[in-house]
A and B are shown apart, each in its own frame.
Chain A
Amino acid sequence: MNELIYEVDNISFRYPGYDRYVLNGVSLSLQKGGILCILGPNGAGKTTLLSCMAGLLKPYSGTIRLCGRDLSGMSEKETARLAGFVPQMHVPSFDYRVIDFVLMGRAPHTGIFSRPSAEEEKMCLDVLENMGLGHIAFKSYLDISGGERQQLLIARAIIQSPEAILFDEPTAHLDYGNQHRTLSRIKQMASEGYSVVITTHNPDHALLLGDQAAIVSKDGSVIQGSNADILTEERLSEVYGMDIRIRYIEELGRTACLVPGL
């Protein structure tokens, strides 16, 4: 399959009132079922790029095509039907039950004066059940762990039934075990046909997910390619300003990204 879900063409972005371009002539593409890992040093514009792709920010110039359609001409609702966005962290506002929270993912399919149906509620229960979260469905989402809450954000994006799901640093607030559980969930989702974009601080996560990588540099430019092409020792060492090694580890049967020592 060669269907392109995302075609980002030469976009630039700067925040109003600032001269510095956070993104400068960025081009990217993502195939259906592909995983694109966006890496880059702190403050380089990973989240800005992801927000542009989610339609939350408007690029200053250039175009983003989502499933062949120009994002700038699409309504919030049309965008949300094609692209789900999983924020880095959710700050709870009110004491919603888990199921009611996940149900909010149906918003792009719901009319302004209407509400989700009983079937859609059943859909939420099924998704939660599938993710092994059925037992907390009727709990308050204040009573669950941070790892579980991260899972709910993913469940909500699944309920949205989009083509692409964009994850903003999905592992940033998780412990070591939950980080890797989330990554394996993301990999599984891609194999189910979702196209995935994630931002991460950890190059090893890109290697684990094993598809495409993109690096956002401080000057706002981006290079994209297969992991093997992009995640080289020289480039990573330069991006992060320290000695970084890429090694194939026989025992694990995979390539890993490591630092030699401090």
Chain B
Amino acid sequence: MYRSQISTKDNRRRGRLIIPALFLVLLALILACLCIGKYQISPGECLKILSGRLTGVQPSWDGMDENMLMGVRLPRVMASVIVGAALALSGAVYQGIFKNPLVSPDFLGVSGGACIGAAIAILMSFSSVMVQITAFAGGLLAVFITMMIPKLLRSESGIMLVLAGIIVGGAMSSILGFIKYIADPETQLAAITYWQLGSFAYVDNMAILSILPLSIAATAVLLAMSWWINILSLGEQEAKSLGARVNVLRSVCIICSTVLTAGAVCISGTIGWVGLVIPHFGRMLAGSDNRTLLPASMIIGSIFMLFVDTVTRMAGPAEMPVSILTGLIGAPFFAWLLYRQRRILN
């Protein structure tokens, strides 16, 4: 009896405390990641430069430190934070609205489409800005095609959409294979492959700033709808009987998640596993209620991405693509999470 009372209390409070706690961890990690690297900056110096820049104080610090911090490290750290949050959030939303804990943000084809967009731009030797634009457009286009298939087949159920995702995904992997086949193996093929595995090494401020407004808008919409994602997760019939316009709600969620994922892909290339695994970890820490799960997943996604990027940046002379590490960590971690959650999967 005593024990059950304790756990009841814990259960009540858990949701409220977890978000600020995770946020503090993220802030501490951001500071640490700004400081450490092959070129070390002391935390005090780092804070001084950041606060000085914010308040417009005249520089009284090492110019080398400042260049490193503001020009290289800050954009990269911000990029990991944004990409991690975006992928985790859209993953959590997809899992919720499809009532399926095993889907990830790219299963309607957004990553595949972005890859094709980027690969075409690389094949045409376009500038890096153009690569980002075509990647973004490719991601949106692929999801648009996926969403049109159930309409054409006149069956607007969730399972139809999942199958449409498989159809579009299959077609796209062939197209991508063809592009890689005709690409110049010395330069273009290498660039496409590197892009497909994701990296924060060539992050540029312009890409981040141009993506940010759309991403913030999509995030705001999804967080505002977080309670309704609970309703959608009950399945189409039950959601409808509770007064939800399932197709409209689901479409809004898909569009926002797609914008988020495509934006993230623009910044860093495609990065696997984050959108699939992090929401599960979020459910373990913060519970399944999307009102707390969505913000919690975002923060955990940021923490994870920041950690992985810092490791790739520190390890070895040449930088490894991020997806290699997210996969190496994500796969066994996912196995462990599934073991923990076997109850719901049975």
Contact = CB atoms under 8 A, between A and B. Distances in A.
Contacts of A87: 237-238, 241
A113 B243 contact: no
Interface stretch (A97-105, A190-198, A222-230, A241-249): A97-105
Contacts of B99: 93
Determine chain B's interface SS by DSSP, over half rule. Answer: helix
B327 interface: no
Interface residues of A, number: 36
A97 B286 CA distance: 12
Interface string B216-234: 0000010011111011011
B152 interface: no
A115 B344 contact: no
B101 interface: yes
Contact of A76 (B11, B221, B225, B245): B245
Interface in A202-247: none
B242 A105 contact: yes
Contacts of A81: 243
Interface string A81-111: 1001101001111111100100011011010
B283 interface: yes
Contacts of B245: 75-77
Given A104-B230, A138-B11, A94 B240 contact: no
Interface string B282-295: 01000111010000
A164 interface: no
Contact of A96 (B230, B243, B341): B230
A92 B341 CA distance: 13
A108 B288 contact: no
B96 interface: yes
Contacts of A80: 241-243
Interface string B258-294: 0000000000000000000000000100011101000
Contact of A104 (B12, B237, B242): B242
Contact of A116 (B224, B227, B283): B227
24 contacts: A75-B245, A87-B237, A87-B238, A87-B241, A90-B234, A92-B344, A93-B233, A94-B233, A94-B283, A94-B344, A95-B283, A96-B287, A105-B242, A107-B231, A107-B243, A112-B249, A113-B221, A113-B225, A114-B224, A114-B227, A115-B227, A115-B291, A138-B12, A142-B343
Interface of A: 54-56, 75-81, 84-85, 87, 90-97, 100, 104-105, 107-108, 110, 112-116, 138-139, 142, 160
Interface of B: 8, 11-12, 96, 99, 101, 221, 224-228, 230-231, 233-235, 237-238, 240-245, 249, 283, 287-289, 291, 341, 343-344
Counting from the closest, the 3 A-B pairs by CB-CB distance are A80-B243, A108-B243, A115-B227
